[in-house]
Amino acid sequence: MVLYDPVPMPTRRIALVGGLSAFASSACAASSSTLRVVSSASHRQFGAAIEPQHIEQDADFAGLVQQQCGLLTAENAMKWNQLRPSREQFDFADADRVAAIAGRFKVPMHGHCLVWHEANPDWLASDLSPRNARALLTSHIETVVERYAGKVASWDVVNEAVERNDRRPDGLRKSLWLEALGADYLELAFRAAHAADPKARLALADYGLEYDDEPWMVEKRGTMLILLRNLISRGVPIHVLALQGHLLGDRPAAFGQGLRDFLSAVADLGLEIFITELDVNDQNTPGSATQRDQAVAEIYGRFLDTVLRLPAVKSVVTWGLSDRYTSKSWFAPRADGATVRPLPFDRDLVAKPAVARMLRAFQLAG
Ligand code: XIL
């Protein structure tokens, strides 16, 4: 939680201008452009996940987000544990704050997420039963999706449905929803979301699909393709595969032919592809901050160079925008106590080398 910093507006403006001029000289000498502009020239959207208080309480950060993002995701505000204090109640306060910010910035939202095995309120695990699960799931999805129709252009309908360690033949994760409803919970969720907002693009989202040199990820790509084919063959309204894109700063950028082939196979099913939670974890990346920033930039660049070769890849959202606000600082802190640097902009809101690499990837993709 960042405390309100009572700097008067003129000083804030100067700070913003200073930050942006550093941005202009370091990252954008060649293009004098932003991720928002360059991505849209490549017929894509660039955006970031945000927490509403960071925008409301930090004008400089808000300025950067508005400048760079053509799409916003609520990092936490649309999860069950935030929306559902009890079985009978909805609390839309934080989600509405994110929607209001998107409205103010005149950008659409990508909704995250309607069904997940994590971030659920305690009452859900104790109350959920095969008898009430169908009604609970569909009424939640209908209420939430209807409320944000026209604002949320696309939804992560089901997040992280595949887990090989659960050892089911279909590869599905043994989540609370699967246990209550069986494998049909996926179909049910997509159909409910589609009925609530027929215009929204509906995604199945997952991690662990990115690296060509990681056997369990290569296997997961196969499982995912079978699952997607199966949903499509049953007429389920699914439009997008969302790759989270949580990348690692301490392993080779193994994003090559395997990833291209996988994404081509997804595109051949008629699906779009969104990158929805991109960041580069530098928890175990060796070197100084400058060296780590170079390594992180290279990974952003190599990943985007690969995925943006596919016209089906329509959006890229980073999980945060600046190292000032990243959940990696508590989920993946460094042993040496140094600040983590997983995002394109640093804690001073200055563009790191990653921004130039990302801009170049969008420009090369055309
Ligand atoms: C994370 C948020 O970044 C944290 O602030 C929160 O405490 C836990 O969730 N995959 C997802 C995201 O789909 O929702 C997660 O976000 C990160 C992993």
Residues 262-319: pLDDT tens digits?
999 999 999 999 999 999 999 999 999 999 999 999 999 999 999 999 999 999 999 9
Q: How many CB atoms lie within 10 A of CB 171?
A: 18
**Alpha-carbon torsion (245, 251, 255, 261), positive or negative:** negative
Say yes or no: CB of residue 363 within 6 Å of ligand 1.
no
Centre of ligand 1 to C-alpha 60, Å, is 24
Kindly state the average pLDDT of the residues 72-79.
Answer: 99
Q: For residue range 82-125, list pLDDT tens digits in order.
A: 999 999 999 999 999 999 999 999 999 999 999 999 999 999 99
The CA-based dihedral angle spanning residues 21, 48, 246, 335, taken in that order and rounded to the nearest 10 degrees: 60
Closest-CA residue, ligand 1 atom 7, reads 327
Say yes or no: CB of residue 159 within 6 Å of ligand 1.
yes
Q: How many CB atoms lie within 10 A of CB 246?
A: 18
Angle at 107 between CA 244 and CA 330, to 5 degrees: 40
Residue 160 falls in the annotated catalytic set? yes
Pairing of the two strands 201-206 and 152-159: parallel
Centre of ligand 1 to C-alpha 111, Å, is 13
pLDDT of residue 62: 98
Centre of ligand 1 to C-alpha 76, Å, is 7
Residue 116 CA: nearest ligand 1 atom is 13
Say yes or no: CB of residue 51 within 6 Å of ligand 1.
no
Closest-CA residue, ligand 1 atom 17, reads 277
